Amino acid sequence: MAVYVVGDIQGCYGPLRELLDRVGFEAGRDTLWCAGDLVNRGPDSLKVLRFLKSLGDSCICVLGNHDLHLLELAAGGTAYRRDTLADVLAAEDCDDLIDWLRGRPVMHIDETRSWCMVHAGLHPQWTLAKALRRARRVERELRGDHWAEFCRQLHHVKFPLRRPAGDDPARLLFDTAVFTRTRYCTSDGHFNWDVRTGETSDKKEKPWFAHKKARWRGTCSVVYGHWAARGLVIDQPHVLGLDSGCVWGGALTLARLKKGGRWKGLTEVRCRAHAEIHG
């Protein structure tokens, strides 16, 4: 059995199927991990969702910010100009797809392979155990009776720069942002949500995975997506970044995960642009 992981699909169904054909993926024998942002900006979000859902236990997806945006829209939120999600919302099986999407995790760990998957990043002050506890709280909210209200809060919200203290309800919004929107932060947990395609001007801020004393290091390697402007990150011993900008005219990239937090080979399908880069 092989375990493959693919970066941000964003509605690019054709490249996804070509990738899986190239590696000989077989549902029931192999497992596909998807690092979030399954939908939006690309042309075939509905096909992507239907296909991934049809794979059943052979597919493990974490939620990305675009996936949460689809949940926002299903909850009555407002669309953005560049959204390509109308076909999902108009589909006869929309409710089933939304329920399936709400059931996806924001963090996945496979201890037998020493791999962890999130869409965007982790807090440098969180151990993996603490991150998993906070991920489960977000997931319970998304799967609960008040999921629509929670998702509407995510629309146009100004996320806290640090995790609020005490029982502040904004803590859950902050945790959601860490898993689905992280790029730059400081070692003590001050997050920059604004820089998307450029470099930060604050010398204390680094890519979330570049802090050498991050508490999540050492147990598992982490695979993530989200950061198309940075591209593939394959030169780090503890992370694997797979957002190679498919929907922006780059490539959709897949790797095979091995035990011991290792990975083997990259398979790429070049794509034509379906959107302008705005983060």
Digits of tens for pLDDT over the chain (279 positions)? 899 999 999 999 999 999 999 999 999 999 999 999 999 999 999 999 999 999 999 999 999 999 999 999 999 999 999 999 999 999 999 999 999 999 999 999 999 999 999 999 999 999 999 999 999 999 999 999 999 999 999 987 899 999 999 888 899 999 999 999 999 999 999 999 998 888 898 999 999 999 999 999 988 999 999 999 999 999 998 999 999 999 999 999 999 999 999 999 999 999 887 765 444
Q: How many residues does this entry show for the chain?
A: 279
Q: Which residues are 255's β-sheet partners?
A: 5, 266
Name the residue among 236, 253, 246, 239 with its Cα closest to residue 277: 246
Rounded to 5 degrees, φ, ψ at 22 are -60, -35
d(CA 206, CA 258): 28
Buried/exposed 41-77: b ≥16 CB within 10 Å, e otherwise: bbbbbbbbbbbbbebeebbbbbbbbbbbbbbbbbbeb
Q: Which domains does the chain have, with CATH numbers?
A: 3-270 (3.60.21.10)
What is the pTM (predicted TM-score) of this model? 0.96
User: Strands 206-207 and 191-192, how do they pair?
Assistant: unpaired
Name the residue among 211, 221, 226, 206 with its Cα closest to residue 257: 221
Rounded to 5 degrees, φ, ψ at 229 are -65, -30
Q: What is the pLDDT of residue 169?
A: 87
Q: What is the pLDDT of residue 55?
A: 98
Residues in CB range of 166: below 8 A, 6 or more apart: none
